[in-house]
Structure 1
Amino acid sequence: MSEKLLLLLQLCNSSFPLGAYSYSEGLETLIEEKRIIDNQNLNQWLINELKYGSIRIELAIVIRSYNCYLKKDLEGLLYWNDWFSASRETSELRQQSWQMGKSFLRLMLSFESENQDLFDIINSFDSHCNYAIAFGILTAHWEIKIEDLLLGYIHNWINNLINVGVKLIPLGQTEGQNLLLNIKYEILKNVDAILSLKDEELSSCSWGLSLASIKHEQLYSRLFRS
């Protein structure tokens, strides 16, 4: 049990070299437009994304990738990878998912260089594997409990976005940590709901994220890639 926890903590650590810190997922636009100006605004944005946004679909794809790997269902893995790529709202968000997925696969190959089955699965993807798919594959291979890996994934996602707020709003470090601490109940509640989503229920209402992402590439100056 302790070994699995340590493996998960490594994957979800901010120092894990995927480049997640370089993305704001539309927050840079919203802060620039003064739509998010303090920790309360940021907290509400994150809660709405958890309840209705595309992060719900991302977590659902992690689940499906995890289950396909356990069943050795390569066709299913490729299907859900293509499905998720098509669901990305903008080119910036799609490129983020592909870049992080590519980096994750490269690390996976270094971790499991002697595993031919895993090597064959990784090489079945062309040039684009989404991060959610890659994460599901490795955590299934390492036999990490699905409830734990979802909590790790979403905690890492929220922590990255809170750090964007700390830098750009700006928030103090203490404010950011209080926000992270207080949002834990929303995380638990929404992860439970996502676990029960059926394939036909995979939908989101994330037009706010879409518009913010579309506008991001037009910003006069940018610190983040999305």
Structure 2
Amino acid sequence: MVMVAPIPTNTSPPRMTTEHDILILAQWLSPAFPVGAFAYSHGLETAIHSGAIATACDLQDWLTCVLSHGSGRNDCILLRAAYRSGPQAALDEVNQTALAVSASSERIRETQLQGSAFSQTTSAIWGSDKTEFCYPVAVGHAAAQLWLDVDLTAAFYLHGFVSNLVSAAVRAVPLGQTEGQRVLAALIPMCDQIVQETQCTTLDDLSSTAFLSDIAAMRHETLQPRIFRS
């Protein structure tokens, strides 16, 4: 039987290598990790249904806005806040803030269910806390417990976030696999830019002007027929 070594606490000195960080994060934020990300479109299905997204260029423009002015940037800020939160009360405040900035009931359910599923799996394998936090909060908290590099964690998180939305669009528009991967590759510099820009942010820096994305998420609640949960 393979035994998993116990993880260090937040008061322990860092001992993981960068290579180790990358491998763990690649597992956590891969499509194979059981958080059910494939079931959510983050309102993208509504935009596709309305005709607002019909081409790869439309998709890239939409996701650029979501990343830089909406959920992508906010999730990165929340992840960082959870990573450095310390006491449970501070962590709870970060989680409540994550719920408060979610634009619709489906967005709340999306982040809560994925966060809970993520926490259950990391707790079972790595021994981290089993929580009911929102997804970026759960990832940030688990990364802090394993002393994973926070910038790497944020970068992997954003890449996983946008990868899932590209995958949803490939299925729903539909787009070719190559077109989808081309969009994803074009968004990598944006992910890196957001990671750099959010290094010194706090919860006071949360904001969103991705209004069309937020409205699409709200309208998805009554969209029929639909294949995604958000």
TM-score (ref. length: structure 2): 0.88
Match for residue 179 of structure 2 among 161, 164, 175:
175
Aligned to 1:6: 23
CA–CA distance in structure 1, aligned partners of residues 96 and 221 of structure 2: 24
Deviations 1:175-199 (A, max 9, x none): 1111111222222122211223233
Aligned to 2:11: none
1:50 aligns with 2:74: no
Q: Is the alpha carbon distance of 1:112 and 1:56 closer, same or farther for their aligned partners in structure 2, counting shifts above 3 Å?
A: same
Stretch of structure 1 that moved more, 80-89 or 205-214: 205-214
Match for residue 224 of structure 2 among 212, 220, 224:
220
* TM-superposed deviation, 1:141: 1.4
Match for residue 42 of structure 2 among 16, 19, 25:
25
Relative to its length, the structure with more helix (as a share) is 1
| Partner SS state of residue 222, structure 2 | coil
1:108 aligns with 2:122: yes
* TM-superposed deviation, 1:97: 0.7
Aligned to 2:76: 59
What is the aligned-residue identity percentage? 28
1:153 aligns with 2:157: yes
Is contact 2:78-2:203 (8 Å) kept? no
1:188 aligns with 2:188: no
For 2:42, the aligned partner's letter is E
* TM-superposed deviation, 1:158: 0.7
Stretch of structure 1 that moved more, 12-21 or 100-109: 100-109
- Note the aligned Cα RMSD (angstroms): 1.4
* TM-superposed deviation, 1:201: 2.0
Aligned to 1:130: 134
Aligned to 1:89: 103
CA–CA distance in structure 1, aligned partners of residues 126 and 23 of structure 2: 17
Aligned to 1:39: 56
CA–CA distance in structure 1, aligned partners of residues 24 and 140 of structure 2: 13
CA–CA distance in structure 2, aligned partners of residues 180 and 17 of structure 1: 21
* Structure 2 spans left out of the alignment, 5+ residues: 1-17
CA–CA distance in structure 2, aligned partners of residues 84 and 26 of structure 1: 18
Is contact 1:54-1:205 (8 Å) kept? no
TM-score (ref. length: structure 1): 0.90
Is contact 1:151-1:187 (8 Å) kept? yes
For 1:212, the aligned partner's letter is A
| Partner SS state of residue 183, structure 1 | helix
For 1:88, the aligned partner's letter is S
| Partner SS state of residue 150, structure 1 | helix
For 1:10, the aligned partner's letter is Q
For 1:144, the aligned partner's letter is L
Structure 1 moving runs of 4+ over 3 Å:
none
CA–CA distance in structure 1, aligned partners of residues 79 and 121 of structure 2: 18
Deviations 1:57-83 (A, max 9, x none): 111010011112xxx311110111111
Aligned to 1:208: 212
Stretch of structure 1 that moved more, 188-197 or 79-88: 188-197
